[in-house]
Structure 1
Amino acid sequence: MTRTQTTVFVLVAVIALVLGLTVNKVLNSKAQADPTKLLDAGIVLLPQGRDVPTLDLVDQNGKPFKTSQLKDKWSLLFFGYTFCPDICPATLAELRELKKMLPKEAVDNLRVVLVSVDPHRDTPEQLKKYLGYFDSSFTGLTGEEKTIEKLANGVSIPFIPADTNKPNYTVDHSGNLVIVGPDGRQRGFIRAPLNNQKLAAQLPELLMQKD
């Protein structure tokens, strides 16, 4: 091969590499969700994933549950409680309906979790009974109040612990949902109130991502 041929060969290889990278970038950009549409649907993604505090809780079946188990699927965490008079039943009902609007592949890659902010009354048995009214596939988590506070603060969804000495007390908490990716890290939030029509259009693309 002459020097000229070698130079031509190298140039062709470089051009092919540049074109390949450009096409790959374009394809990937098309595969990514439109940030404007995500925000319009109430989905706020963090620039970088955030570690979820490693804590020990208990699920609705009375089995130990570590926050490190929030992996392999996308999870939506809602901090609420079973004696909540309004926002909690409304949110869980909306999440039940949202699941029906999503394609099966997205649903199979989704975990909905109710984290109780009222562990004094929300025993595993109470959580299981309550979630059964909405969707028995939903996960319920409870535990020590301090542990739940650490989790809530760690994912920026703080709540105000109630005065449990008062009869029929209520707990002040946020209606936002926490998005946890298959890697077990917090990826963002879904702002309340939920807009199921817009979420159903934007969530599938996110839920189909494996990492």
Structure 2
Amino acid sequence: MTRIQKTVLILVALVALVIGLTAYRVLNTGQQVDTAALLDAGIVMLPQGRDVPDLTLTNQDGEPMTTAQLQGRWHLLFFGYTFCPDICPATLAELRQLQGMLPDETRQRMQAILVSVDPDRDTPEQLKMYLDYFKAGFIGLTGPLDDIQTLANAVGVPFIPADTSKDNYTVDHGGNLALIGPDGRLRGFIRAPLRTEKLAEQLPAVIGQDG
């Protein structure tokens, strides 16, 4: 993929985010939602939920997990990988910190998931070893690259597959989180970098919704 193609992909994702944000601000005028506070915390809610493709991936215990199983709780999907040198360990550490700042009720209604963008190296065993380090109850998912890319594109958090022929390759990806509601649909995003204190203040109201 050329640099121009990479730039276009990133711009498309940003435009989609801005459109969703603008629509949400317009449609929520007059409602008892502090949109400004949500935005200040990095939370962007969509005016309408978006369907998530029907896929089956594999969790860190080697068990199949379908996207239909995202129903019933709020899920934060982070697309990263265990060999990531910077964004991933920092984001997961911030998520662990955030969980410790949330009320028990909110924490019970929310599940963070690392979806690997490097399935060649991120086996279930590798994911389990990596996530166990954080001791935060995170779920890890891996599977066919095409399925992972389909999911990432569907929830508006695209990444650029790596050239796995190179030694010690890295994967170009962002730090935004996709927010999946209890209805199993994409409900919004949490923008990177994570603002843990402000998120701890605003997420209970969001997570408290039934979706």
Distance, in Å, in 1 between the alignment partners of 2:205 and 2:135 is: 23
How far 1:135 moved relative to its partner?
A: 2.8
The residue type paired with residue 113 of structure 1 is I
Cα RMSD (Å) of the superposition? 1.1
Q: Tell me how far apart the structure 2 counterparts of residues 189 and 29 of structure 1 sit (CA, whole Å).
A: 20
- Return the alpha-carbon distance in structure 1 between the equivalents of residues 85 and 66 of structure 2: 29
Which blocks of at least 5 consecutive residues in structure 2 are unaligned?
1-29
Q: Point out 4+ residue stretches in structure 1 off by more than 6 angstroms.
A: none
SS of the residue corresponding to residue 133 of structure 1 reads helix
TM-score, normalised to structure 2's length?
Answer: 0.84
Q: How does 1:69-148 map to 2 (within 5 A)?
A: 69-148=69-148
Tell me which residue corresponds to 1:20. Answer: none
What is the letter of the counterpart of residue 135 of structure 1? Answer: K
* Identical counterparts, % of pairs: 64
Q: What residue in structure 2 maps to residue 186 of structure 1?
A: 186
- C-alpha distance in 1 between matches for 2:134 and 2:52: 26
What amino acid does structure 2 have at the position aligned with 1:193? P
SS at 1:140's partner residue?
strand
What is the CA–CA distance in structure 2 between the aligned matches of 1:174 and 1:90, rounded to whole Å? 12
Shift of 1:56: 1.1
Aligned to 1:184, the other structure's residue is in SS state coil
Q: 1:136 Cα deviation (Å)?
A: 4.7
Structure number with bigger Rg: 1
Q: How far, CA to CA, are the matches of 2:64 and 2:81 in structure 1?
A: 19
Alignment of 1:150-165 (within 5 A): 150-165=150-165
Gap runs ≥5 in structure 1: 1-27
Total equivalences in the alignment: 182
Take 2:111 and 2:160, find their aligned partners in 1: how far apart are those partners?
Answer: 25
Give distance in 1, aligned partners of 2:102 and 2:198.
Answer: 11
Distance 1:135 1:102 in 2: 16
TM-score (structure 1 length as normaliser): 0.84
* Aligned counterparts of 2:118 and 2:108: Cα–Cα separation in 1: 29
Q: Deviations along 1:97-155, whole A, 9 cap, x unmatched?
A: 00000000000000100000000000001001100111351110000001101001111
